[in-house]
Amino acid sequence: MKHFILSFIALLFFVFESIFAQLFASDVFGADKILVPRFIMIFVFFLTMFGSRKIGMLYGAILGLTYDAVYTEILGVYMLLIPFLAYLISKCMKILQNNILISCLVALLFTAVLEVVIFQMNIILSFADMGFAEYMDRRFVPTLLLNLVFIIISCYPLKRIIEKLDLQGELE
C-alpha cells in the first residue's frame, strides 16, 4: 500500500508538471523567460530526505527513466542523475539538521545543481545554443523561483505523508 500511495503521488506530480509546462508557457511570464518545473525531482529529493535513501534512489531511477523517455532525446541522463543527486542528498542530510527550512534549502540547492548539470550536458551535446549568462537570466533564475514556490507549497504536506508511510527499513 505504501508504494501504491507513493506511485500515485509521483504520477500526480508527473502529470501536473506536464500540464504546468503546457499551460504556463513562456508567453505568460514574459516571452524571454523559460520556466522549467522540476516537480518530480523535488518529490524524489523529499522522498530521500524524509523517507529512505534506497526508496528515493529507486524512485529516482524509475522516474528519471520515465522522464527521459517522455521529454528528452537521450535516455539515461535523468535516470542516472536523479538517483545520484538523491544519494548526495542523503549524505548531506546526515550532516545537516533535518528540519523543514534546511530541507527546503537543500532541495532548492540540488534543483539548481540539476539545472546546471543538465545545461552543461546540453552544451556538450550541442542541444543548447545560448551562453551561460543568457542561460542564467532566461532560464536558471526563473526556474529556481518557480521551483522555490513549489518547494514552499509542497514541503510540509509531502513531509507529513512520507513520514506517515514510515519508509525506514524498506528494501533492506
Q: What is the pTM of this model?
A: 0.90
Check the CA dihedral 93-94-95-99 and report its sign.
positive
What pLDDT tens digit does each residue of the chain (172 aa) get? Answer: 888 999 999 999 999 998 988 887 655 556 688 888 999 999 999 999 998 899 999 999 999 999 999 988 888 899 999 999 999 999 999 998 888 999 999 999 999 999 999 999 989 988 888 899 999 998 999 999 999 999 999 999 999 999 888 876 565 4
Query: What's the CA gap between 12 and 73, in Å, rounded?
Result: 23
Set of cell numbers at residue 150: 513549489
The domain ranges of the chain are: 2-23+38-165
The residue among 58, 52, 59, 155 whose CA lies nearest residue 94 is: 52
